[in-house]
Amino acid sequence: MTKNPFYNAIAASVYIILVVSLLTITSEFSNSIAGGSGKDSFLAPIMMISMLTLSVAVMGYIFGYQPIMLYLDGKKEQAVKLFLQTVGIFGGITFLIFILYLTGILS
């Protein structure tokens, strides 16, 4: 993505929010069509594994592309620093959302 760990961490958070929103909307839509009868029981695991595979690829790109490019350019210390900063900032965002949820601010 970028060499800015804040942008990378925010991009990962936004991606997760979009995926969860999409899953929530499609789940409500499929329940209203199927009437909660379990008609989608065959497709549900296929869609979940497909979504997992896509998410791993997207998150790998967000977290790993720039550090790998820096590493291959011989900037090993900068690559490790960028990766760890991105993971740390993403962890901070995740922790903040968790705390806001536990306090009832996000429900």
Cα 61 from Cα 12, distance rounded (Å): 10
User: How many angstroms separate the CA atoms of 71 and 83, rounded?
Assistant: 11
Q: Map out the domains of the chain as residue ranges.
A: 5-102
Cβ–Cβ < 8 Å for 61, 1: yes
pLDDT of the residue at 1: 80
- pTM passes above 0.85: no
Please, what sign has the CA dihedral across residues 11, 106, 97, 28? negative
Mean pLDDT of 38-67: 88
Residue-wise over 63-81: b if at least 16 C-beta within 10 A, else e? bbebbeebbeeeeeeebee
Distance CA 4, CA 23 (A): 29
Q: Is residue 11 a contact partner of residue 1, using CB atoms and an 8 Å limit?
A: yes
Res. 30: pLDDT tops 70? no
The string of pLDDT tens digits covering residues 2-14 is 899 999 999 999 9
